[in-house]
Structure 1
Amino acid sequence: MRKSYYAAHVYMILGVISGLYYREFTKANDFTGDTQLALMHTHLLALGMMGFLIVLALDKQFTLSGTKLFTYFFWFYNVGIAITVAMMFVHGTETVLGDHVPEAVLLTAGLGHILLTVGLILLFVLLGKRLNESAGAGPAEPEQEKETAKSPV
């Protein structure tokens, strides 16, 4: 569970720093057009920070961490975010500077999105397994309390 907390915290810090970089870099270069730098900030906060805060809550409820599947999810998802955001940084910086964005940047960003997708699929597979395990565990506790409340003691 700690890994999800630390990941969310790191993504929060990176998201705030990337927003600052976007604002100051575009201002310093008198740039007023569209750039990937504007999206980098929200990707880090939404996919990174908010994503891992949600995973943290799910982990608390369903004990997701500590399994191989969670470890695979964690690394695929993090590498996917890292590649995607790094390519947004390169693409956005090149755009602000007026340079040509190499095709390799776009292809690599696609790879980052593929890894993100694989990570999300792994998370849903793990969550589905945990839901199936908890469904087979028997009736919930409030229903058990109703049964004992009916019997006279």
Structure 2
Amino acid sequence: MMKSFYAAATWLTLGLAAGVFYREFTKLTGNLGVESELSLMHTHILALGMMMFLIVLALDAVLTLHTRRSFTVFFWVYNAGLAVTIVMMLIRGLLTLDGKSPADTSAAIPGIAGLGHILLTVGLIALFMAIREGLGERQERLAARQSRLQSTREATVSEG
């Protein structure tokens, strides 16, 4: 569970730093108000990083997701995909502020960004697999508990 907490805290720090970087960099270069991928990084990191891992932390507390292999796959693949995606946003944003249009830059940039999105998707699929397993086990535990309660009630009624 602590991995999710530390991931959320790390993405929070990076998201806030991205906001400060965008504001200060655009002021320094005279591009204040210019739309670029840099202006989107702050919210993308906070939403896809910090908020995602806070939600996962809550789910983990209920479903013990961290004990599953699919959760480990989710954690590392999703983080890698988000890092790749954010780095590509940074590169594209810096190039845009430098006056280069997306058509003038290398096709590798959207290609690598696409790989980041693919990794995010694979990570999310693994997360859903972990959630499904956790829900199944939780249902089994609740059914067993219900059965024990029913047996205890029946034993109490037959004794009384």
- Same fold, judged at TM 0.5 (above): yes
1:126 and 2:130 aligned: yes
Distance 2:47 2:40 in 1: 10
1:114 and 2:115 aligned: no
Q: Does the CA contact (< 8 Å) of 1:29 and 1:97 recur in 2?
A: no
1:105 counterpart residue number? 109
**Gaps in structure 1 of 5+ consecutive residues:** none
Structure that is richer in helix per residue: 2
SS across alignment from 2:65: coil
Moved beyond 4 Å, runs of 4+: 150-153
Distance 1:132 1:68 in 2: 15
- Identity among equivalent pairs (%): 47
Shift of residue 139 of structure 1? 6.1
1:34 and 2:38 aligned: no
1:97-131 Cα distance to aligned partner (Å, 9 max, x none) = 11343211111111101100110010001101111
1:93 and 2:97 aligned: no
SS across alignment from 1:98: coil
The number of residue pairs the alignment matches comes to 150
Paired residue type of 1:114: I
Distance 2:126 2:16 in 1: 28
TM-score (normalised: structure 1):
0.89
The structure with more radius of gyration = 2
Q: How does 1:1-153 map to 2 (within 5 A)?
A: 1-31=1-31, 32-99=33-100, 100-137=104-141, 138=143, 144=149, 148=153
Distance 1:51 1:39 in 2: 17
SS across alignment from 2:30: coil
Shift of residue 29 of structure 1? 1.6
Shift of residue 30 of structure 1? 1.7
**Gaps in structure 2 of 5+ consecutive residues:** none
TM-score (normalised: structure 2):
0.85
CA distance change for structure 1 residues 140 and 96 in 2, over 3 Å: closer, same or farther?
A: farther
CA-based RMSD of the aligned residues comes to 2.1
Distance 2:39 2:73 in 1: 30
Shift of residue 90 of structure 1? 0.3
